[in-house]
Amino acid sequence: MPLFGVITENAYEALGVTRDASMEAIRQAYRQLARKFHPDTSSAATDDEKAEYVEQFRKVQAAYEWLCAHHTTASSAHNERERTEDITVGGVNVTLHYSSFANLIMASMTISLENARQIQCFPDGVHILRVGVLVDGRTAFEAEGRLSSLQRALHRYDKQQQVKPLWEQLERWRSTAERYEYEGRPTTKLMSLITTAAGLLDRYENWSTGSTIPGIQSALTAVERELERVENNSTELIISGLMDGSIYQFDIAHNNAVVAKVMDLSIRSGGFIEPITEEVLRAHYKQRLGDIVTLHESIYRDLRISLEDYAPADILAELENEKMLAPTTVELQNGNRSNEYAIRYEIMKIDKVPTKVGIVTIPLTVYRKNAFEYGKASKFPELPYDIQLKLEIVQQNRVIAVGSDNEALLQKVKKFTGGVERGKKLKGTAAKEGISYLTGPLQASVPPPWFKGRAR
């Protein structure tokens, strides 16, 4: 039993050596410290210093005696655990390499995939098992920890093997898509579908939820179909991109304005002027594009549509003379004078039914002056061809109410003036003037719902 409570860790610290030091290093350290603290050889001058040196000498001596008795035994025990052993694990003959660390016994082994699937328990006395699994003579994957770690690694490997051919197919399609993209074909949707499929494959491999084989197969089918479309129907894809605005083209802004203007005239003429339908515009693009299959060529192709082709000036003049067009402005009383306010025409869904409407943006003061609530008949005009008049009422650059001139709109206005409703900010000209104006002959109204093309 060492003196003065010197324990294992303190014994090494007392001599200033590490636990893996050799006995020769321990003896050398002891001799140096013994000469330093020995009462007969120390340089202590005072009685207190001599007493302290004696105390240190006795601790050094106790530590050295303890290490002489125990250090060799500990090293031998450590070496015994650094060994190799051939054993049988779950009916499988394997070679284990043992090592010890922090009083834990770790074992490592390299086995075939078939044998790894048969392991049902750890070897006796082993705390941590490191397993390398061989496939075709090469290490396919490793697992370390408890038995559950090996089981999870096997499950992940099986999933990787299951989707490996799907990954290879997707990579071939990606290469083809990149080649089409280099050629200038429309591949935006195709690349998006490939990215989605790759994400599903990755989640299936590495996560327990979020992806299934049927979902992956569905995504890959979508990629294959889009790839076929890009290969065989590039012109149709370009047309679809022009229609939904995903493809930039110099003439889209002009066409957008023409479609909107013709729609405006169609509403104002009661259908005498036919609107430009989606089918008509697609046919126009197809005729202008011809055999073009690349985006670069389509960008510089003339795709403009002419307002004259769909609303000839002479027809418009005749309709105007015959007063067969709904008005573009409405004159309303504003105090002691009257002002004209622009009407913009749109197709809106009211109760899920497409309805022709004319919208007038007016200040709150003008609404109060012309509404029916003051015991007078409404001064807002009725529009022809069953076009509903909608009032957009603004105050302090905010829209406070929208609707027909009826009791419901009146209640909305009262709700706002009572301080309940905030409304939303207007911008641009409407914010400054509180009204809506037409800024040009091709910017009236809005395009029909099917037309989403826009200039980027």
Question: Is residue 86 left, alpha or beta, with left meaning phi > 0 and alpha meaning psi from -120 to 50?
Answer: beta
Residues 189-195: what's their mean pLDDT?
91
CATH number of 46's domain: 1.10.287.110
Where do the DSSP E strands lie in 116-232? 128-135, 138-145
- At residue 56, φ and ψ (nearest 5 deg) are -65, -40
Query: Could you give the count of Cα atoms lying within 13 Å of 345 in the half-sphere of its Cβ?
Result: 26
* CA 163/CA 219 separation, integer angstroms: 13
Where does residue 382 rank: exposed (0-12), middle (13-18), buried (19+ CB within 10 A)? Answer: exposed
Are 375 and 408 found together in one domain? yes
Are 128 and 192 found together in one domain? no
Quick check: 452 and 243 in contact, CB under 8 A?
A: yes
* CA 319/CA 268 separation, integer angstroms: 10
Residue of 11, 9, 19 whose CA lies nearest to 75: 19
Q: Which helix (H) or strand (E) holds 120?
A: none
Residue that wins the pLDDT comparison between 169 and 89: 169
Q: Which of 275, 303, 321 is the last residue of a domain?
A: 321
* CA 452/CA 456 separation, integer angstroms: 12
Q: Which helix (H) or strand (E) holds 48?
A: helix 47-81
**At residue 309, what is the residue type?**
D
Are 358 and 425 found together in one domain? yes
Query: What pLDDT, in 10s, does the model give residues 388-420?
Result: 999 999 888 888 888 887 877 878 887 777 654
**Tokens standing for residue 8:** 């294992």
Query: What pLDDT, in 10s, does the model give residues 25-34?
Result: 888 888 888 8
**Tokens standing for residue 51:** 């007493």
Q: Say how many Å lie between the first and final Cα of the chain, rounded.
A: 88
Q: Which domain holds residue 60?
A: 3-81
Residue 240 domain-assigned?
no
- At residue 291, φ and ψ (nearest 5 deg) are -100, 15
**At residue 109, what is the residue type?**
M
Are 335 and 377 found together in one domain? yes
Residue 440 domain-assigned?
no
Count of the separate structural domains present in the chain: 5
Per this entry, what is the length of the chain? 456
* CA 289/CA 300 separation, integer angstroms: 10
**Tokens standing for residue 169:** 């197919």
Q: Which of 232, 265, 296 is the last residue of a domain?
A: 232
* CA 3/CA 347 separation, integer angstroms: 101
Residue 93's DSSP bridge partners are: 88
Residue 238 domain-assigned?
no
Are 340 and 401 found together in one domain? yes
Are 416 and 377 found together in one domain? yes
Are 209 and 271 found together in one domain? no
Query: What pLDDT, in 10s, does the model give residues 214-271?
Result: 899 999 999 988 888 887 777 787 888 888 877 778 888 899 899 999 999 999 999 9
Query: What pLDDT, in 10s, does the model give residues 276-312?
Result: 998 999 899 888 887 766 777 777 788 999 999 999 9
Where does residue 91 rank: exposed (0-12), middle (13-18), buried (19+ CB within 10 A)? Answer: exposed
pTM of model > 0.75: no
Residue 269 domain-assigned?
yes
Quick check: 77 and 99 in contact, CB under 8 A?
A: no
* CA 236/CA 389 separation, integer angstroms: 40
- Of the pLDDT bands very low, low, confident and very high (cuts 50, 70, 90), residue 378 is confident
Least confidently predicted of 1-10, 12-21, 23-32, 60-69: 1-10
